[in-house]
Amino acid sequence: MYKRYILDSKIRVITEHIPYVNSISIGLWIGSGSRYENTANNGVSHFIEHIMFKGTKNRTAKQIASEIEELGGQINAFTGKEATCFYVKLLDEHFDVGIDVLSDMLLNPKFAMQDIEKEKSVIQEEINMYEDSPEDLVSDILSIATWGNDSLSYPILGTNKTIKELDREKIINYFNKTYIPENIVISITGNFDEDKLISKLNNTFGTLKNNNKFDFSLSYPAINRDIIVKNKDIEQIHVALTLNGIELGNDKLYTLLAINNYFGAGTSSRLFQRLREEEGYVYTIYSFPSAYKNKGIFNIYFALNEQYINNAMELVLSEIKTMLKNKMNSDNIVKAKEQLKGNYILGLESMSSRMFSLGKSELMLGKVFEPKEILNKIDMITIDDVNEVIDIVFKEGIFSAAAVGRNVDEYKFKDALGGII
């Protein structure tokens, strides 16, 4: 059972006590990501994630890592388009150390000039690494094709130019606007003494003082119809496509996840079986929903030799039309729902996965569902629900596309897409 608390600082805490394990996972979630940035500070959310590991008024960068790792624990963080999360995994007996370290990082970051300048080089190398990863690169390019000038198109890492131009003032201004109690959630799963845990949280995170108001307003972007190609000297062409989708928090997203299991999520899916197993055009192909606040899309990705691009695109377009025309029969829906439930239940066996799910749900939606509620939502999916969501996603076809590869011809790529964009 989940429990919700409000600390003295007004930070929200969501916990799940699991007494039969010997570990604890603690996540510090902030509503901070590239969607809340602008062209002048793009990448600042991810930069702050990095710089908070560089030391506090009480700990050096090495001490932040060693205090957790010397206990056999792990500490890490990640930044997305709409959220940043710092987290630790520890033996339950060391929960207080995890809270001490995370709270120190939040309450006492140094933001030292020398650390900022040094970290710019580190992040620029990370950007270069992504440039060398065609799967990541084509995803960033597709975001631009899909969202145009909207902040949803901004790369999470920023660009070499925006990172170079970040200064301490920009970083602290953004930190002070976003790292505030009303925009923070702490999620905790595992074995713990409830009274000791909440007391410890209040004595640390409960002391946060910040009178700023979180005032970011979300856009309602339309999905663009656009194609972007980038030439890169690599062996394969990497292709990414965008269709319509379902926004975060909409119960239809469960239906889309079930549809995705049938269409392109695994090795038994239609896309994988048709393009890899039957025709041998690709090694990797998959589809997935990307759900954001007030907007959602559905993506397809694959990589292949240039000689197969026309045939592969023809098959992808054929599968989209087949989904729209034939939908899914009752047996396929039952199997897709069982697969979705199985994936969800297996995920519950990981304390970290449970913590991530709790924190994201509370931060993004302001509510958390019990596992039995999630399973019930999946069980309640009907054939009418499936037909409705298939129409939403597939009826308008492909909106935007991106390709990365050696000597990619934009006009030939458009032809391969059937002139639909």
Q: Considering the domain 226-416 in this protein, what is its CATH number? A: 3.30.830.10
Answer yes or no: are the C-beta atoms of 226 and 402 closer than 8 Å: no
Q: What tokens appear for 205 in the block? A: 């995170």
| DSSP β-bridge partners for residue 17 | 190
Q: Residue 122 and residue 179: Cα distance in Å, rounded?
A: 23
pLDDT at 421: 61
Q: Which residues are catalytic?
A: 49
Q: What tokens appear for 202 in the block? A: 């209040």
Q: Residue 283 and residue 271: Cα distance in Å, rounded?
A: 12
Q: Are strands 282-292 and 84-91 parallel, antiparallel or unpaired?
A: unpaired
The correct answer on CATH 3.30.830.10 for the domain covering 2-207 is: yes
Same fold, 2-207 and 226-416: yes
pLDDT tens for the chain, 421 residues: list them: 899 999 999 999 999 999 999 999 999 999 999 999 999 999 999 999 999 999 999 999 999 999 999 999 999 999 999 999 999 999 999 999 999 999 999 999 999 999 999 999 999 999 999 999 999 999 999 999 999 999 999 999 999 999 999 999 999 999 999 999 999 999 999 999 999 999 999 999 999 987 777 777 888 999 999 999 999 999 999 999 999 999 999 999 999 999 999 999 999 999 999 999 999 999 999 999 999 999 999 999 999 999 999 999 999 999 999 999 999 999 999 999 999 999 999 999 999 999 999 999 999 999 999 999 999 999 999 999 999 999 999 999 999 999 999 988 888 888 888 766 6
Per-residue 3-state assignment (H helix, E strand, C coil) for 83-109 = CEEEEEEEEHHHHHHHHHHHHHHHHCE
Residue 307 dihedral angles phi and psi, to the nearest 5°: -65, -20
Q: What angle do CA 200, 203, 204 make, to 5 degrees?
A: 90
**Nearby residues of 141 by Cβ (< 8 Å), 6 or more positions away:** 228, 230, 240, 402, 404
Q: What tokens appear for 37 in the block? A: 């940035």
List the end-to-end C-alpha distance of the chain, in Å, as a whole number.
48
Q: Residue 49 and residue 87: Cα distance in Å, rounded?
A: 11
Q: Is residue 280 helix, strand or coil? A: coil
Cα→Cα distances 254→7, 319, 327, 361, 382, Å:
32, 21, 16, 14, 11
* Residue ranges of domains in the chain: 2-207, 226-416
